[in-house]
Amino acid sequence: MKGVPVLRMKIYIDGKFYTENNAKISVFDHGLLYGDGVFEGIRAYNGRIFRLEEHIDRLYLSAKAILLQIPFSKKETIDAVARTCAANKIRDGYIRLVVTRGVGNLGLNPFSCKKPTVVIIAGKIMLYPAKMYRKGLALITVPTMRMAPSALNPAIKSLNYLNNVLAKIEAIQGGVLEAVMLNHHGYIAECTGDNLFMVRSGLIVTPPTSAGALCGITRQVVFQLAREHLGLEVREENLTRYDVFSSDECFLTGTGAEIIPAVKLDGRTIGTGKPGKITMRLMEQFRELTTHEGYPIPK
Ligand code: PXG
């Protein structure tokens, strides 16, 4: 647009800031060659980074699981994220924190990589159109199953997201925006980038992480809001598609998605076909919480 200054993003790579055009990593980085690395998607609201410590804890656990030594302390990483937000004048936004195995040779042996690469991008994200938050999403169950814990454990937020990408493709080709993924036992694991919840007779239920669900930060927030603010019980249970078909309400949670109602699964209407009352109360409580909680972004 004319007259509007173009704000250039400042991207953090290994301790330095680069403009968008200059923010580059090597083609020999094993993050690119093998998806060898870990990441976090984090949001900032109202000048505060929401649940930053929890995201950093999960990042370090993911890194530990793949024997990747992050070259900073947790405090230094928190500080780098906050500084990247400040450098980009972010008050409300989305932060992508990526740690790759680093530059190595063409063999997959990670021990050829001398130093991990740390990238922080602070920008914007909109996963679903605003209308979907009012009307609710339609979902389909897709053929691509969630990875078994004995393969690449879905608890690890790794850069290897092909499992989820394939499921996302199947959802979009099937005419919806998000997919329900089952595990090898036929139980619901989660969606491609969100956790799934349903409500049955006033009880909130979600699959356990052992079913192949990421231990979502937003999922944890929903546990807290339901119990402490709404006085409702949350249970972790193996869920089938039938459980969702016969539920009163369904919703998805994720940093990108926040809390979004789901009103249809595989052509079956869920509940009344409109976002449920408990879902809407949780969405309201979530919005309220994000306005004042979080790690302050320095000026
Ligand atoms: N399951 C999976 C597989 C995820 O990748 C979640 C659940 C929700 O977890 P959190 O901690 O965010 O509540 C995720 C997170 C994107 C995007 O770009 C994806 C996520 C988060 C932010 C952005 O699609 N996924």
For residue 299, the model assigns a pLDDT of: 85
Q: Convert 107-124 to b/e letters by CB count within 10 Å (16 or more is b).
A: eeebeebeebbbbbbbee
For residue 7, the model assigns a pLDDT of: 56
β-bridge partners, 96: 41, 121
Verify whether ligand 1 is closer than 6 Å to residue 179 (CB atom).
Answer: no
Is 74 strand, coil or helix?
helix
Residue 218 alpha carbon, nearest atom of ligand 1 = 13
Verify whether ligand 1 is closer than 6 Å to residue 212 (CB atom).
Answer: no
What's the token pair of residue 4? 């509007």
For residue 125, the model assigns a pLDDT of: 85
pLDDT along the chain (299 residues), means of 10: 64 97 97 98 97 98 98 97 97 97 97 98 90 97 96 96 98 98 98 98 97 97 97 97 98 97 98 98 98 95
Q: In the annotation, is 157 catalytic?
A: yes
Residue nearest to atom 8 of ligand 1 (CA): 254
For residue 3, the model assigns a pLDDT of: 52
- Domain ranges within the chain, ordered by starting residue: 10-123, 130-290
Please say whether the beta carbons of 54 and 26 come within 8 A.
no
Verify whether ligand 1 is closer than 6 Å to residue 214 (CB atom).
Answer: yes
Residue 190 alpha carbon, nearest atom of ligand 1 = 1
Distance of alpha carbon 145 from the chain centroid? 18
Fold of the CATH domain 10-123 = D-amino Acid Aminotransferase; Chain A, domain 1 (3.30.470)
Please say whether the beta carbons of 204 and 230 come within 8 A.
no
For a ligand 1 pocket test, name from 255, 259, 282 the mutation site with the most ligand atoms within 8 angstroms of its C-beta.
255
- Chain length of the chain: 299
State in Å: Cα 160 to ligand 1 middle: 13
Residue nearest to atom 15 of ligand 1 (CA): 193
What's the token pair of residue 158? 């790794």
State in Å: Cα 112 to ligand 1 middle: 30
For residue 1, the model assigns a pLDDT of: 47
Fold of the CATH domain 130-290 = D-amino Acid Aminotransferase; Chain A, domain 2 (3.20.10)
State in Å: Cα 39 to ligand 1 middle: 10
The pTM of this model reads 0.96
Give dist(CA 282, CA 284) in Å, integer.
5
State in Å: Cα 255 to ligand 1 middle: 6
Verify whether ligand 1 is closer than 6 Å to residue 225 (CB atom).
Answer: no
Q: What are phi and psi of 105, to 5 degrees?
A: -90, -175
Strands, E, within 124-257: which ranges? 137-141, 178-182, 188-191, 195-200, 203-206, 234-236, 249-254
State in Å: Cα 277 to ligand 1 middle: 24
Residue nearest to atom 3 of ligand 1 (CA): 193
State in Å: Cα 194 to ligand 1 middle: 5
β-bridge partners, 269: 264
**Catalytic residue of the set 157, 264, 277, 299:** 157
